[in-house]
Amino acid sequence: MQPSAGGVTAVNAALTALQGRQSARIAGQAGDISTGAAAYARTDSDGSDAITSVEV
């Protein structure tokens, strides 16, 4: 085994751990965005339902 193999293994392990953390963070953010979008859609729909036409 070459001396650099240990370093490569360590870097690969660190990158794998980082990838897992980023994946979990992004999944959480996607869930938050989805929740926010649903709340916005409800508010927008309620607002449009409250608008009445005015004839001049």
Provide the residue range defining the domain that includes 30: 1-36
Is residue 23, in this structure, part of any structural domain at all? yes
Considering the domain boundaries, does residue 45 fall inside one?
Answer: no
Q: Judge whether residue 56 has pLDDT over 80.
A: no
pLDDT at 54: 60
pLDDT in tens, 3-46: 799 999 999 999 999 999 999 999 999 999 999 999 999 998 88
Residue bearing the bigger pLDDT, 51 or 52 = 51
Put simply, whether the predicted model's pTM sits higher than 0.85 gets the answer no
Q: What is the DSSP string of 7-49?
A: HHHHHHHHHHHHHHHHHHHHHHHHHHHHHHHHHHHHHHHHHHH
Q: How many domains does the chain have?
A: 1
